[in-house]
C-alpha cells in the first residue's frame, strides 16, 4: 500500500473510531480516557503512518472487546 493510500485508509478508520467513541455509553471519565488514547494515535499519524495504523488496529481490537454498556439513566 503506498503512503497516500495508507493515509486515506487511516483517516477513514480514525473517523470511524472517533464516531464509535462518541457513541460509547460509559462514564465520562472512562470515555475521556478512551478519547485521549485515540487523540494520541491521531497525533502519531502525523509522524509515522504505519505505526499509527498498527496502534489504531490495537485500539479498535480493544474497543471491540469492551462489553456493551447500557445507556446512562437520567
Name the strand (E) or helix (H) holding 4: helix 3-22
- 12 — alpha (psi -120 to 50), left (phi > 0) or beta? alpha
pLDDT(49) > 70? yes
**Mean of the pLDDT values across residues 27-54?**
94
Is there a domain that residue 19 lies in?
Answer: no
Phi and psi at 59, nearest 5°, equal -60, -45
Average pLDDT, whole number, for the chain?
Answer: 89
pLDDT value of position 71:
58
Rounded Cα–Cα distance for residues 55 and 45 (Å): 10
Is there a domain that residue 58 lies in?
Answer: yes
pLDDT value of position 26:
87
Rounded Cα–Cα distance for residues 27 and 69 (Å): 10
Is there a domain that residue 32 lies in?
Answer: no
Is there a domain that residue 10 lies in?
Answer: no
Dmax (CA) of the chain:
48
The model's pLDDT over 8-33, given as tens digits with 9 standing for 90+, comes to 999 999 999 999 999 888 899 999 99
Is there a domain that residue 8 lies in?
Answer: no
Is there a domain that residue 71 lies in?
Answer: no
Could you give the percent of the chain with pLDDT greater than 70?
91
Count how many domains the chain has: 1
> 47: domain range?
37-65
Is there a domain that residue 5 lies in?
Answer: no
Is there a domain that residue 51 lies in?
Answer: yes
Amino acid at each position: 500500500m503506498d503512503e497516500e493510500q495508507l493515509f486515506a485508509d487511516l483517516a477513514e478508520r480514525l473517523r470511524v473510531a472517533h464516531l464509535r467513541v462518541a457513541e460509547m455509553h460509559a462514564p465520562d471519565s472512562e470515555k475521556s480516557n478512551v478519547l485521549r488514547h485515540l487523540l494520541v494515535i491521531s497525533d502519531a499519524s502525523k509522524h509515522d503512518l504505519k505505526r499509527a495504523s498498527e496502534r489504531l488496529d490495537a485500539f479498535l481490537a480493544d474497543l471491540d472487546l469492551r462489553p456493551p454498556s447500557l445507556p446512562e439513566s437520567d
